[in-house]
């Protein structure tokens, strides 16, 4: 089954949101400060990706 653009965007939004949660959780549980900081950075970057994907989804919805 092929997904259309809207369905792909929705899936990737969920994927990136889950990555944010995972990185944040791991950052809190890891004792190594350098790795914890890296995971916090990754969480922030994933959040930016999710936000951009959501903007694109809204753009597509407005066109219809």
Domains identified in the chain, total number: 1
Instruction: Give yes or no for a contact between 9 and 17, defined as CB atoms under 8 angstroms apart.
Output: no
Q: How far is CA 29 from CA 15, 17, 19, 38, 63, in A?
A: 21, 19, 15, 13, 43
CA 38 – CA 56 distance, rounded (Å): 27
Model confidence, pTM:
0.86
Nearest to 24 by CA among 44, 54, 52, 49: 44
Mean pLDDT of the chain: 94
Which residue range is the domain that position 53 belongs to?
5-63
Express as a percent the part of the chain with pLDDT over 90: 89
Radius of gyration in angstroms for the set of CA atoms belonging to the chain, rounded to a whole number: 15
């Amino acid at each position: 089954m092929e997904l259309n653009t809207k369905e792909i965007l929705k899936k990737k939004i969920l994927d990136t949101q889950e990555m944010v949660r995972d990185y944040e959780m791991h950052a809190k549980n890891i004792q190594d400060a350098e790795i914890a900081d890296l995971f916090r950075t990754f969480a922030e970057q994933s959040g930016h990706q999710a936000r951009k994907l959501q903007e694109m989804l809204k753009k597509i919805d407005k066109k219809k």
